[in-house]
Amino acid sequence: MGQEDLMSTAEDVADQFLRITKQYLPHLARLCLISTFLEDGIRMWFQWNEQRDYIEATWSCGYFLATSFVLLNLLGQLGGCVLILSRNFVQYACFGLFGIIALQTVAYSILWDLKFLMRNLALGGGLLLLLAESRSEGKSMFAGVPSMGESSPKQYMQLGGRVLLVLMFMTLLHFDSNFFSILQNMVGTALIILVAIGFKTKLAALTLVVWLLAINVYFNAFWTVPAYKPMHDFLKYDFFQTTSVIGGLLLVVALGPGGVSMDEKKKEW
């Protein structure tokens, strides 16, 4: 079987998967995408004192401001998740969660940790895709009203979302000299480039979903570590952040790459 035949078979399998899961995939994508915010909001409740004391000690901001920070994170994240899952005021919920990401990036000094910064940016990419989806839903409510075609902001949101999502995979690259690491880096790099430029996008994104899911379950198995150990919380945080990026990729699979992509330009050739 030649390379073109293999690619054609893979695309057929991906198309069949999409036909079967078409009705459920966007819902699953949203659930995965908000999972890290949901987990973090719940953690704020159960670790209220620890989080407040950490912020108060780190920033010397006093009891009131530290408590306000934890409360804002708890209500902002849980409220945003409820709105997104119920499909109400999705755009406002996305902007609120963008604000939470920015706030946590500063408060927890993530700005100076490249790995965590890239993962937070990847989370932002997932929210951009969700924002683009909510715009298209809003427009579908006004069917028959003249428009200038697919809105430019939506196209560029999808492009920005795709590019930011791939930052997650850059944190997973291992610079080892063994054969498996080199092969994983080469395949992973090829796939993230395809998603970023929007070429064979759905197939590349679906492949990355499977790859990331396997890595997440294997390396971030927080359920195997006792809850009292610090590693449990660290792995749990990693697990749900990765699940959110999987949600973003599933949105790419479900909705396609958008207007600013090679797949879309190919239709014009």
Per-10-residue mean pLDDT, the chain, length 269: 67 76 88 95 94 94 94 96 93 95 91 87 92 71 41 82 86 73 82 88 89 89 92 91 91 84 71
pTM of the model: 0.85
Residue 3: inside a domain, yes or no? no
Domain membership of residue 8 (yes or no) is no
Distance CA 162, CA 245 (A): 10
pLDDT of residue 69: 95
Examine residue 5 and state whether it is found in any structural domain, yes or no. Answer: no
Q: Which domain holds residue 170?
A: 17-134+154-266
Query: What is the total count of domains within the chain?
Result: 1
9, part of any domain: no
Residue 176 domain-assigned (yes or no): yes
Residue-level pLDDT at 3:
62
Q: What is the pLDDT of residue 143?
A: 40
232 vs 66, 207, 226, CA distance in Å? 25, 28, 6
The whole-number pLDDT of residue 90 equals: 93
User: 103 burial class (0-12, 13-18, 19+ CB within 10 angstroms)?
Assistant: middle
Both structure tokens of 151: 């809105």
Residue 90's identity, in one-letter code, is: V
Is 11 a member of any domain? no
Asked if residue 221 belongs to a domain, the reply is: yes
Residue of 34, 98, 40 lying closest to 251 (CA atoms): 34
Q: Are 259 and 212 in contact (CB under 8 A)?
A: no
Distance CA 32, CA 61 (A): 34
The CA-to-CA distance between both ends of the chain, in Å, stands at 28
Cβ(60)–Cβ(107) below 8 Å: no
Q: Do the domain assignments include residue 237? A: yes
Q: Which pLDDT score is estimated for 46?
A: 93
Cα distances (angstroms) measured from residue 166 to each of 188, 243, 256: 10, 14, 16
Three-class secondary structure assignment of the chain? CCHHHHHHHHHHHHHHHHHHHCCCHHHHHHHHHHHHHHHHHHHHHHCHHHHHHHHHHHHCCHHHHHHHHHHHHHHHHHHHHHHHHHCCCHHHHHHHHHHHHHHHHHHCCHHHCHHHHHHHHHHHHHHHHHHHHHHHHHHHCCCCCCCCCCCHHHHHHHHHHHHHHCHHHHCCCCCCCCHHHHHHHHHHHHHHHHHHHCCCHHHHHHHHHHHHHHHHHHHCCHHHCCCCCHHHHHHHHHHHHHHHHHHHHHHHHHHCCCCCCHHHHHHHC
